[in-house]
Amino acid sequence: MKNLKSLLLIAIISISLGLSTNAAVKNGKAPAPAVKASAKAPVVVSLPDSSYQQASALDITANPAKYLNKRVKIRAKFDKFSTLGLDYKPAFRSSEKYITFLIKRDDVTDHTIPLSEMKNFLERSVAEKYIDIKPGDDIEYCGVVFSNALGDAWVDVEKFSVLNQQPKK
């Protein structure tokens, strides 16, 4: 019985010494400053085109996880501005600040079918510069695939340009 009490006492002392040593080691470094999370939209930084990987919109939508957090450059035919995916909580972009645009599927040539599996978010202030854009106009845009919620590709567009406008009918 006496041996059991001694063993128990030694075990308690050993554990407490181990815990206090562990705490001292952890406190040896200054803690990193806490970064506050912000509900505001991410800051858009313009990067050179060479930092973007040329990619097919169909490949991105077929493999959104492969492109997650990657910078991509896409050439496509514009379809329309939309509100698709705005204010969706898991991949939140505010409808007050952003608008979505859809591009045409390039694997279908006899019909006009939008590629709704790709949500392209463009700041409204940028989109307002392109009010004359029409369905079928050739565009190029660069951005980051920031989410693959619902199995879709969600792209924050950082650069947008019209390459060729269709003639007016």
Mean pLDDT, the chain, whole residue set: 82
Q: In this predicted model, what pLDDT tens digit does every residue of 51-95 receive, in sequence order?
A: 999 999 999 999 999 999 999 999 999 999 999 999 998 889 999
Of residues 79 and 44, more confidence is placed in 79
Tens digit of each residue's pLDDT (9 = 90 or more) over 110-128: 888 999 999 999 999 999 9
Question: Per-residue pLDDT averaged across 133-152, rounded?
Answer: 95
- Does position 33 have pLDDT exceeding 60, yes or no? no
The whole-number pLDDT of residue 38 equals 43
Cβ atoms 117, 152 nearer than 8 A: yes
Domains of the chain: 49-164 (2.40.50.140)
| Mean pLDDT of all residues in 151-159 | 96
